[in-house]
Structure 1
C-alpha cells in the first residue's frame, strides 16, 4: 500500500499538477571545461553570486536578448540579505 491518498486531488486535478511540476526548479548536469568553470566562478564571486546563480543569470540574459524568454518564466529569485526595514 502506498503513502499516497486514493481520493481525488484536493487542488484541482491533473492540469494543476502538471502546472505545479513545471514550476519546480529543474536540475541539470552541466559539463564544463575547467578553465571555463574557473572563469565563471571568479565572475560570479566578483558579482556576489554563486556559480549556479551566475549561470542562471547569464542564460536568462541570453534568452531575453534573443527574444526567446518564455512569457511564463518566473523572475529570478532575489538572493542574499533581505532589505533593511525602516523603523
Structure 2
C-alpha cells in the first residue's frame, strides 16, 4: 500500500460546508471526497491515465 502525502489545506468556510455535505451524501469523509474530486479532475484533463 502506498503512503499518502499529508499537507495543510486552507479553504473558504462556505466551500468547506458544501464539500462536507457532498461527502456525507456520498458516504465519504471530507478528506477522501476532496481526493476523489481531484482525481476525477486529473483524469478528465488527461493528467491521470489509470486508477491506482
Please classify the TM superposition score into its range, dividing by the shorter chain length.
0.7 to 0.9
Q: In structure 1, what is the equivalent of residue 5 of structure 2?
A: 26
Relative to the length of structure 2, the TM-score reads 0.88
Mark the structure with the bigger radius of gyration.
Answer: 1
Task: Map residues 1-87 of structure 1 onto 2, 5 A cutoff.
Answer: 23-69=2-48, 74=52
Relative to the length of structure 1, the TM-score reads 0.54
Give ranges in structure 1 of 5+ residues lacking alignment: 1-22, 75-87
Provide runs of 4+ in structure 1 moved above 6 Å: none
* Larger RCO: 1 or 2 (CA < 8 Å, sep 6+): 2
Give ranges in structure 2 of 5+ residues lacking alignment: none
RMSD: 1.4
